[in-house]
Amino acid sequence: MGPSVRFPGFAGKGAEMAGRRSTGAVPARARKPSRPKRMTGPEIAEMFARFRAAMPDPRTELRYTSPFTLLVAVVLSAQATDAGVNKATPALFARAPTPEKMAALGVDEVESLIRTIGLYRTKARNVVALSRRLVEEFGGVVPHDRDALETLPGVGRKTANVVLNVAFGEPTIAVDTHIFRVSNRTGLAPGRDPLAVEAGLETVVPPEYRLHAHHWLILHGRYTCTARKPACERCIVNDLCHWPEKTVL
C-alpha cells in the first residue's frame, strides 16, 4: 500500500468515538490543516512553462462548431460533465446550429434532445431564451463583450469568460471548481470565492501564458489534482506545489 493521504476538513467518526472512549472527555475541535503558502513568481513561471511543454495547444473538451454552439454547450455544462454534454449536443446542433433555428425549435423539443443532462428543463428554457435574445438584440451573432454576454439567460461570468477565451481568443480565465481547487491547494492564487481567485490569477499568471492558463489549470484539476485522490505521484509540478497534504515531497 502507498502512503496514506489526509484530506482537508475530514475527520472520521471512528477516530472521534475512539477518542471519547479512551479519555472520557469531549474531543477538541479538529485542527484545521494549514494553508499553503503562496507560490513565488519564479515558481509560477516554471509551473506554466511545464504545462506548455506538456500540452502546447490545449483545447476545450466541449464539442462545438461556432461561437453560438460553444455558448450553448457551455451553458449546458453547468453542473454537468463535458462528456455528458458531448453526448447530447450532436443531435441538438444537427437540428439547431443557429440562434434562429434554436429559437424556432422551442423549449419542449430542446428538452427532449438534452434530457440526459442535469437540470435539462431549466437549461432548455435558457437556451431558447438566449437564442431569441441573440436574434432580437444582436443580429443573431454572439457578442464579443463580457457585459453583453452576461445579459443573456443562463450566462454568468464564468460562461462569458469561456466564450471570450475559446471563441474570441481573449486571455480570460474562467474559474470553475477545478481551477478554484488547484489555485487554492497549490498556493498559486488563493481566494475565498471564484472572483477573488480570478483576480489573483490575472495578477500572477505571466502574460505569455494567460491565453491558455484556463485550459491548463482545468485539465490539471480534472485529471491530476483531483478533489478526492490527487495523483501527486504523477503531477508534473509536485515539487512546486505548496499543499501541506501532498503525498510527494
Nearest to 139, CA basis, from 147, 150, 151, 131 = 131
Looking at the predicted structure, is the pLDDT value of residue 88 above 80? Answer: yes
Do 26 and 34 touch, CB atoms closer than 8 A?
no
- Give the number of other Cβ atoms within 10 Å of residue 182's Cβ: 26
Q: Which residue type occupies 69?
A: T
Domains (range + CATH), the chain: 41-59+172-234 (1.10.1670.10), 67-168 (1.10.340.30)
pLDDT tens digits for range 101-142: 999 999 999 999 999 999 999 999 999 999 999 999 999 999
Q: So which residues are the catalytic ones?
A: 158, 176
Give the pLDDT of residue 25.
44
Place of cell 488563493: 190
Nearest to 123, CA basis, from 147, 107, 138 = 107
Give the number of C-alpha atoms closer than 13 A to the C-alpha of residue 94, restricted to the C-beta side.
Answer: 8
Which range among 8-22, 148-162, 179-193, 231-245 shows the weakest confidence by mean pLDDT? 8-22
Sign of torsion over alpha carbons 193, 8, 39, 79: negative
Do 96 and 105 touch, CB atoms closer than 8 A?
yes
Q: How far apart are CA 161 and CA 171, in angstroms?
A: 9
pLDDT tens digits for range 195-209: 999 999 999 999 999
- Mean pLDDT, range 45-55, rounded to an integer: 98
Helix ranges, the chain (H)? 13-23, 41-54, 67-76, 82-95, 99-105, 107-113, 120-138, 146-149, 157-168, 177-186, 194-204, 210-223
More confident residue, 29 or 60: 60
